[in-house]
Structure 1
């Protein structure tokens, strides 16, 4: 009997992208992947990430922002960094843990820039929706895309 792949999504604050990735993976690939998400820091759960995931039928409202140190005792098979900062500052993992970088734009940063230009709340949420859909497309390729 083979066990599920243990996969951790890592980003800077574990508030948005890694949370969406964990939600999608649990929703779409929970039968073959044990999924976790963490940050190099903890910034709390982004309410807009929760909102756009709910629109897609995935509830991440019970997630919490977690620090990478909380996963020291779990034998992670694959770490997927979803932002440049996490990739550049990725902590050391054992040799049998594969680290893969799949970068996604930062919705809070994009929304803030749009807000400064006078964009509506709906236009700002579109940043989150775009990244949500990009993450879903990546998750649909799992686990084969990270095992190559």
Structure 2
């Protein structure tokens, strides 16, 4: 079974969405974790938009990346530029991957929920393709 860690700044939205989708698509082929370099708590809008797509992340917690530095991961995925720049060193990481997504709720001209849905859909497509390519 592969181990995947998804990192973003606050571990409140993008990494939570990615954790939910990666686990959904990977099933029992992977254990997926998420963390942040400055955790802020799981954003309730992230929980809402995932529930709209049938995935429950209400049980997720917001964790600091330092909590995972001793674990062996097959993949460490950063989903924002800030996390990539501040990512702690993971000596056991089989592969470091960076895929930046915009910060939902901070897009000019979009309301909060619309922004979260757009980023959710981008992360969903990425997660499905990642699992198909790497966990087939």
User: When the two structures are superposed, what TM-score results if normalisation uses the length of structure 1?
Assistant: 0.84
* Alpha-carbon offset, residue 33 of structure 1: 1.5
Unaligned runs of 5+ in 2: none
Distance 1:6 1:77 in 2: 5
- Any conservation in 2 of the 1:78–1:146 contact (CA below 8 Å)? no
- Any conservation in 2 of the 1:100–1:146 contact (CA below 8 Å)? no
* Alpha-carbon offset, residue 30 of structure 1: 2.0
* Alpha-carbon offset, residue 96 of structure 1: 4.8
2:105 alignment counterpart:
108
1:12 alignment counterpart:
9
* Alpha-carbon offset, residue 146 of structure 1: 5.7
**Could you say what the CA RMSD is over the residues aligned between the two structures, in angstroms?**
1.7
User: When the two structures are superposed, what TM-score results if normalisation uses the length of structure 2?
Assistant: 0.91
Structure 2 residue 63 is the aligned partner of structure 1 residue 66: yes
State the number of aligned residues. 135
Structure (1 or 2) with the larger CA radius of gyration: 1
Unaligned runs of 5+ in 1: none
Structure 2 residue 127 is the aligned partner of structure 1 residue 130: no
Alignment of 1:28-39 (within 5 A): 28-39=25-36
Which 4+ stretches in 1 moved above 6 angstroms?
Answer: none
Distance 1:143 1:27 in 2: 10
The change in CA–CA distance for 1:35 and 1:48 in structure 2 (over 3 A counts) is same
Distance 1:134 1:87 in 2: 19
